[in-house]
Structure 1
């Protein structure tokens, strides 16, 4: 996120809104995203974007910066209040504009369809912002036409940096605080690190709380504001409880995992949101050590969706405790980045990604049908030739099964099959 010295009306977080002139105040992963992921967009090739990440991490900031940098007319919409009619009007009245849709996950699947021709023919440049995973909230046709970029939460050091700049802004722009040292403010000296620690990576929340506290006249008043804000933030910040639930499942503690799941539920969390995280966990963290986990998670999701609450808490408890108790493996998940890295290396070096001719449609006469071989397996390198060279150079497979559960059986089978070539059976 960028912080600027531009003085505006409204909350402190709004008055410190970003500008290109203050790029040195970019914080957290937003800085790398601006310099790396969005470099191509700014220089030449534009594309549609979904920015996703927790509140206060810099999604709106990056969108506004792109608008300012490109000089394209910038239109702001929110899926909380704007629907199909407003989106169509915005595009018709502003062809070629940059249309920023905040909370884009609030659009229903039917409403999302209005975006398809806009994305397909670039009638406008769409940038959506969401706190939810695009893969679960947006339709496949939408996802195939956009680039999703994840923005991580700011860490405590980033929040502290932002708060100190906020302090300097107040001191330089508000008469009440001009020419005062920090010691002269009637607030606890530890308030900045305290806010940083409890902000959950949300700079917007941190800046607005800091502004409320810095205007307090006594320490008692300050403590009251801090405690009330902490309580309100804890109640609304579901990411803390869900994060704790996931980490407890990963740590094989079913009691703790269920405690956080039910606590989130009792505080008003959507049970579908929790179930959706369980589906992701079943593949990411359990994986092929226990393939049944994914089926259970999906069925629990469907059951909760079908029966609703309060009975939905029962299948939720079943899936949370099972995922926490079963064997774990993230090997399939890790393999994604390994094969993606192979592709990136190939593209950077101008290598071909074309599959071997024997396994393409054109080479069907040369294809060796595995079921004609012993154990339904034929020794053949299915990777593109140049990718295979990269793999051989690294001397490591992308998918490395663990020694746990079903995955141990897969590991032994693959090791046995790939140790030497076999011969075609006589038909």
Structure 2
């Protein structure tokens, strides 16, 4: 039976925006900075604020304080502060911002979303300080930003908050509501529950993301029943777990493996719309094209790599088009994991050989020293000559198992490979005819 209780607060969501935004630290409340953001403000950014400005990349997990630090620098500098997002803004918007606000502070959120060509447009701005650039990213700059960009900026890592810092932020938000919102009323039991149960629970769920914690806290205090509160916890946990970052991609991969292009594309676009990096999606496609398609359709790997390069070239939102082409093709084409399975098979041969003290040194005919003894296959019919290419002891392990590591499927190009290998090795000594 649903238990009814008095809500902790009336609707306050329309009063000056969401709680997380209302509580964002500023110059007046810099003491509210938590975790590494506090140290960065008073140490790494002290020079920027007092004597010497520099272009800056703030990187770290969500909700760690990157945007707050950028905004506070804007306050401290008395420069025009322009906010852009690489998710929606490209070369045109960046150039326009600089032209309309020369010498301003340009904050570019999700800066890693700019492709290489778009990043190049920043170079003269950085080089001649046409504006001061501050970028924010959740990705490592050394892997996502070009070398010319990296040589012109300073990278500062903003680490995730610990549970104690999250609890401090939540307690501050509770006190803020008590003091600043006349509609916010708590019973003694509600106040005790918030401080002793709710806040520690949210801190543990937050994963170091203060914004997530504040948003969840704001949702919880609006609940009118215990069941509603439990549902908020349940849904928020599912939405925020680290695993969830991969949920849509996992579903996309399984849909491609199941040859359902509609479902695969649905999950790819859902992930994209929720903020997933398109290059991350394509990296998974590249792996899939070898792991699950392999030699049944070698074109799949070529297409996946080409789609990755295409998005690097054109960026978003146009990049969704080659992404869609890639995902639907991979889902529709033939499947084979035989090349992937062969990896562990041959690795097991190596392990067995070394555990038994066997040599895994290649036959001398295959080494530089044995070049005079090496028989060049192209000098023979079908470009093949019978020879035991494996180390002799490893070949014995293979013969004991009576099965090859790579067993081509009966699908697509791989079926042709299977037929060729069968013809060559069925009676290999008959194939040693010179041409």
Q: TM-score, normalised by structure 2?
A: 0.55
- Asked if the contact 1:271/1:312 (under 8 Å) is kept, the reply is no
Runs of 5+ consecutive residues of structure 1 not aligned to the other structure = 1-6, 243-263, 278-300, 327-427
Distance 1:26 1:128 in 2: 19
Change (3 A) 1:18 1:237: farther
Q: State the 1:238 CA deviation.
A: 2.8
Distance 1:157 1:48 in 2: 32
Aligned partner of 1:156 among 159, 163, 168 = 163
- Tell me, yes or no, if structure 1 residue 26 matches structure 2 residue 51: no
Aligned to 2:354: none
Aligned to 1:229: 236
Distance 1:317 1:13 in 2: 51
Aligned partner of 1:114 among 110, 121, 126 = 121
Q: Which moved more, 1:94-103 or 1:303-312?
A: 303-312
Q: State the 1:175 CA deviation.
A: 2.2
- Asked if the contact 1:272/1:304 (under 8 Å) is kept, the reply is no
Aligned partner of 1:215 among 207, 219, 222 = 222
- Tell me, yes or no, if structure 1 residue 147 matches structure 2 residue 161: no
Change (3 A) 1:67 1:315: farther
Change (3 A) 1:29 1:95: same
Distance 1:42 1:212 in 2: 36
Distance 2:337 2:122 in 1: 34
Aligned to 2:253: none
Q: State the 1:101 CA deviation.
A: 0.6
Runs of 5+ consecutive residues of structure 2 not aligned to the other structure = 1-13, 250-266, 285-303, 310-324, 348-435
Q: How does 1:317-396 map to 2 (within 5 A)?
A: none
Aligned to 2:58: 51
Change (3 A) 1:62 1:110: same
Aligned to 1:85: 92
- Tell me, yes or no, if structure 1 residue 38 matches structure 2 residue 49: no
- Asked if the contact 1:51/1:130 (under 8 Å) is kept, the reply is yes
Q: State the 1:60 CA deviation.
A: 0.4
Deviations 1:338-378 (A, max 9, x none): xxxxxxxxxxxxxxxxxxxxxxxxxxxxxxxxxxxxxxxxx
- Asked if the contact 1:304/1:315 (under 8 Å) is kept, the reply is no
Distance 1:52 1:318 in 2: 38
- Tell me, yes or no, if structure 1 residue 76 matches structure 2 residue 76: no
Deviations 1:294-330 (A, max 9, x none): xxxxxxx9799599669999999999xx9xxx9xxxx
- Asked if the contact 1:304/1:316 (under 8 Å) is kept, the reply is no
Aligned to 1:131: 138
Aligned to 1:47, the other structure's residue is in SS state coil
- Tell me, yes or no, if structure 1 residue 172 matches structure 2 residue 179: yes
Distance 2:220 2:186 in 1: 19
Aligned partner of 1:197 among 197, 204, 210 = 204
Q: How does 1:395-410 map to 2 (within 5 A)?
A: none
- Asked if the contact 1:304/1:312 (under 8 Å) is kept, the reply is no
Aligned to 2:261: none
Q: TM-score, normalised by structure 1?
A: 0.56
Distance 2:19 2:81 in 1: 23
Structure number with higher relative contact order (C-alpha < 8 Å, ≥ 6 residues apart): 2
Aligned to 2:62, the other structure's residue is in SS state coil
Aligned to 1:37, the other structure's residue is in SS state coil
Runs of 4+ in structure 1 displaced over 4 angstroms?
Answer: 178-182, 184-189, 239-242, 267-272, 274-277, 301-319
Distance 1:73 1:232 in 2: 36
Change (3 A) 1:187 1:57: closer
Q: Rg larger in 1 or in 2?
A: 2
Distance 2:339 2:27 in 1: 50
Change (3 A) 1:304 1:109: closer
Aligned to 2:109: 102
Aligned length: 278
Distance 1:315 1:165 in 2: 56
